[in-house]
Amino acid sequence: MKTGPIGTCLGIVLAWALCAQTAAPDRRFEVASVKRDDPKIYEYNGGRPNLPMRSVSGLRVNLPGETIKSLTATAYAIDERLISGPDFVEKEQDLYRVEAVMPAGFAREDIPAMVRTLLQERFHLVAHTIAAERSGYALTVSRKGAKLRAGRAVDDSECPDEWTGGLGGETCRFARVVGDVKTSTRILKDTPNGPILSAFSSKESHTEYYRITMPKLAALLSGNVQRSGFTTPPVHRAYGPKPYVSVVDATGLQGEWDVVVDTDFEDGASLPSVIASLEKQGLTLTQTTIPSEKLVIDRVDRIPTEN
């Protein structure tokens, strides 16, 4: 059932995005270049895809390797799986590179609204929402209660002197060797979800979320829990279907917490290892059906207007 055109403050999933659009129609990039991107740039290199990396440096925003779906997902804060549209949108064969500059006084939190304006003005996007259901998981507290630590500062004592910028704010990278296993570690100090430490090896991953709320943890798990396992980061959209499921927060826990998510890749079924790491902290994932909304793209141009 249609709930209304984009631009009205209706719905559940899209409510804040739709209201923000109505309340702040002037949020647009000062300068924005939209060009077709070359898929060959992201072809596999040594068995792994070259993932496009979004970045923000001061007022400059770089969004490479984007599809209509990924840009729309950013603009309306909605999962790509809940977006449908014309055939060329569904196939996700067209990649775009957006290079833009925000007006003075704006920050990364304003980027979704600016991408929304860009889609409407340059791609002539028109869409509406419909009620839907999806399979997923509920994040709950176990019967014995939560065993979480209150949110604290990330330990960056091993970081080198030089830090880089990006969507995660200040970022550092360094290597660790434990026994015969070498891990690559990254610390992001200023993400919308709080500080994050991620360590990866060929066998496993270890992610520490600092000062994260339970709704934000559920949202992060939604992007990474698959029917067959858990990956961080997810494989780029251009390399096959994403069998992701969704996670909703049903813990009732308020405030900010430190949460650890460990993933074992060796057995090929890593979801049990994720569930096990959460259970050690008094959290569980239970399969459920989630009421939701879908965003249906009625019209969008395949070729954006001239820069």
How does DSSP classify residue 267? T
Overall size of the chain counted in residues = 307
Check: pTM over 0.75? Answer yes or no.
no
Residue that is written with structure tokens 């050690």 in the block: 280
Show the DSSP H helices in 45-153 as ranges: 68-76, 87-91, 111-122
Mean local confidence (pLDDT), 217-235: 57
Q: What is the pLDDT of residue 296?
A: 96
What is the distance of C-alpha 156 from the center of its chain? 24
Show the DSSP H helices in the chain as ranges: 15-23, 68-76, 87-91, 111-122, 214-224, 271-279
Report pLDDT digits (tens) over 255-273. Answer: 999 999 888 766 555 678 8
- What is the number of other CB atoms lying within 10 angstroms of the CB of residue 2? 9
Report pLDDT digits (tens) over 24-76. Answer: 447 899 999 999 998 888 877 665 567 778 888 889 999 999 999 999 988 98
Report pLDDT digits (tens) over 88-132. Answer: 999 888 999 999 999 999 988 899 999 999 999 999 999 999 998
